[in-house]
Amino acid sequence: MPNEIFALALTVLAGLATGIGAAIAFLIRKPTPRLLSLALGFSAGVMLYVSFTEMMPTATEILGGNTSAQWLAVGGFFAGIGVIAVIDWLVPEVSNPHEFHTSTDFLSSPGEPTLVIKKEGETQAKLMRMGVMTALALAIHNFPEGFATFVSGLYDIETAIPIAIAIAIHNIPEGIAVSVPIYFATGSRKKAFGLSFASGLSEPVGAVLGYLILREVMNDTIFGVTLAAVAGVMVYISLDELLPSAEKFGKHHHAIFGLIAGMAVMALSLLLL
């Protein structure tokens, strides 16, 4: 029971990091493209580093550490990539929390441009729908992440903590993606923050549902493959969405500096654990 409580608490904290993203969107009144580029690169660096240095080796070890285990881990990894690719394909781009739009998102100024949302041609109803759909899409994306965090907490605390940190950091820009259109549609910070915060609850919900469904058959094989699959999900999101978006918002080196900083922070946290 203590392990289950710890695992659930860790999953809740990781999921509710979307609330941090909403708070940042409101506290920083003039977020710049450079800042967002660095943040997206940082998130990608964290996820890539923890996927390849922590999650995949741990998954292989749990599966037995032999050649068969390596094949299973690799299979799980690419299966995770396939699942998230299908989800991204099914979710419309405008409501996908991993799609960042840049064509009309910036207003040029003599200094550095400021990140803004242009409301021309967009009604409040459309903005509201965008925010709600983004929250729903985010909930779908977060289910496997929450399950992996929860099960990791049950099996190995040292593995679970860096996974939770990586997912939490990744959830911050997603919280921004949910809260901003809601705020512009309603003018209410409370509603925007509340929906963004609530969307993060999908992780503990997914964790509990997945555990209840699989607990009777849960074993090292299922856990190892799940861990490898979530590593694939995180790598796909980093390479397909976060890094390309970071480069669109800022310069190439902004994205790379953020990427390296994310890896360095994650490496340091693993060494200090």
Integer distance in angstroms from the first to the last C-alpha of the chain? 23
- Dist CA 126 CA 124 (whole Å): 5
Nearest one of 229, 225, 232, 236 to 72, comparing CA atoms: 225
Task: Report yes or no: 226 and 148 within 8 Å, Cβ to Cβ.
Answer: yes
φ/ψ (deg, to 5) at 3:
-65, -40
- Which residues are registered as beta bridge partners of 147? none
Q: How far apart (Å, rounded) are the C-alpha atoms in residues 23 and 171? A: 12
Q: Per the annotation, does 3 bind a ligand?
A: no
The response to whether 142 counts as a known ligand-binding position is yes
254 marked as binding residue: no
Q: Per-residue DSSP letters for 118-149?
A: --TT--HHHHHHHHHHHHHHHHHHHHHHHHHH
Is 171 known as a binding-site position?
A: yes
* Binding site per annotation, positions for Fe(2+): 142, 145, 171, 174, 203
* Binding site per annotation, positions for Zn(2+): 145, 170, 174
* Binding site per annotation, positions: 142, 145, 170-171, 174, 203
